[in-house]
Amino acid sequence: MRLRIRQPARSTKRGLAHRRGLLGEDPQEVSAGGGTRVPEQWHRGSDAYAGLRQSLRVLAPHGGQSEREQRDAARPHGADPPEGSAISRRLPDEIAILRNATECNNLVAQGIDLKAGDEVLIGYLEHDSNRQPWLMKAKRQGIVVKEVAIGTPPSSPDEILRAFETAITPRTRAIATTHCDTVIGAYAPIKELAKLAKAKGLPCFADGAQVPGMIPVNVHDLGVDTYATTCHKWLCSPAGTGLLYVRREMQERIWPNIVTEAWWSQKDARKYEAVSRRPWPVVAALEDAIDFQNAVGRDRIEYRIRALNTYFRGRAAEIPHVKLYTSNDPRLSGAMTSLGMDNVSPLKLREYLRQRFDVYTAERAKGVKYPADPHGVDGIRISLHYYNTSSRSSGCYKACVSFRAAKRS
Ligand SMILES: Cc1ncc(COP(=O)(O)O)c(C=O)c1O
């Protein structure tokens, strides 16, 4: 199948497409349709998201399932699943549609009961939306938050796994970490971390804000207890929706933090959605965004982002004085590259790329956001999604070369 991806509807700057790790623009197919469509049943109440919930298999796609499992996944809600297929069928009852990953991460941290002295392990390059909620819990309830350091870049998935394993003590009560961090775009071996947590009797809470839409995700296969994500990044939906997967058994332990009339009657993840009225068109657009990427193909998207980004990283590594903070090992990286240059302010580099080459990036300056960073990340982050062309990938490389040459002269 050949699909032509049109330019984002409102895109005046081609370069905005390099900022997906922050916020990009959406395909016309999404912004034109979903932005105005409000399904009738949403005015009537009950399970307003019934149709959309089926699309949420973006977090545990049919890929890899037998045909029987796929047929079963489409069976009406409430019917007994045949042996072997319960996992896929229960997914819609395990996902809450919230506003963004920040809300999802906060819900988990605030919703789990812990007491003074209990320890929670988080990653050292965690986004603040998965750091501050735990630090606030430390202030309010006296828990202890331990930040586990890894190399920039880590040398292997095993390095990350061992760092967490070593940090576990008899007082550890949870591992709450990112699947792909926001600073250097490093993938954590989240499946192995969930296995480690399980072996130690701990829950594993994952922040996947930077993953769905970039590479295929199957939360059941990962074995995590919760998985938070956002839809305005790699899923290319308008800002305003986030998904929180909460494994059925974990729903007993995580309290909702916004409640209203009869919230207790909700027996599944819908209890986390009691936010009263909300901007429905934005939620409708999510369904279109997911359908659109499904039509393109999740494996094809992954293939393409790997081709574009591996090429860029490989070439960037050849530029003198460039330091890559992101590994080119496919187990440790995806569609984001963080790089810096010796004695160069990331802000200067960012502005040069934007003004001269229309390449928009996010900077990661040392001391600005991560003052405790012992390794030092002092650079910019470039994101190349599946709709970027190969000439844009090589264009990013040429833009960096041009900056280097301009600096020498
Ligand atoms: C790893 C990670 N977690 C959480 C977030 C917060 O996402 P949101 O904007 O949906 O709240 C981000 C945003 O960049 C992120 O990169």
What's the average model confidence in pLDDT over 109-137? 96
Q: Over 80: is that where the pLDDT of 219 sits? A: yes
What's the average model confidence in pLDDT over 214-229? 94
Q: Which of the 8 DSSP states describes residue 112?
A: B
pTM: 0.86
CB 359 within 8 A of CB 18: yes
CA distances from 70 to 60, 62, 65, 75 (A): 12, 6, 6, 9
- Summary mean pLDDT of the chain: 84
Q: How is domain 41-294 classified at the architecture level of CATH?
A: 3-Layer(aba) Sandwich (3.40)
Residues with CB under 6 A from ligand 1: 100-102, 127, 129-130, 178, 181-182, 207, 209-210, 230, 242
Report the distance separating Cα 346 and Cα 381, nearest Å: 10
Instruction: Show me where the domains of the chain are located.
Output: 41-294, 297-408
Give the pLDDT of residue 223.
95
Instruction: Write out the two tokens for 22.
Output: 């922050």
Asked, colleague to colleague, whether 41-294 and 297-408 share their fold, the answer is: no
Cα(85) to ligand 1 centroid in Å equals 32
Pick the CATH number of 297-408 from 3.90.79.10, 2.40.50.140, 3.40.630.30, 3.90.1150.10: 3.90.1150.10
Instruction: Write out the two tokens for 249.
Output: 């058994």
Classified as helix, coil or strand, 370 is coil
Report the distance separating Cα 155 and Cα 348, nearest Å: 29
Per-residue pLDDT tens for 60-92? 765 444 444 454 555 444 444 443 344 556 788
Kindly give the number of the ligand 1 atom that is closest to the alpha carbon of 21.
14
Q: Over 50: is that where the pLDDT of 200 sits? A: yes
Cα(357) to ligand 1 centroid in Å equals 27
From the DSSP assignment, how many helices (H) and strands (E) are in the chain?
A: 14, 11
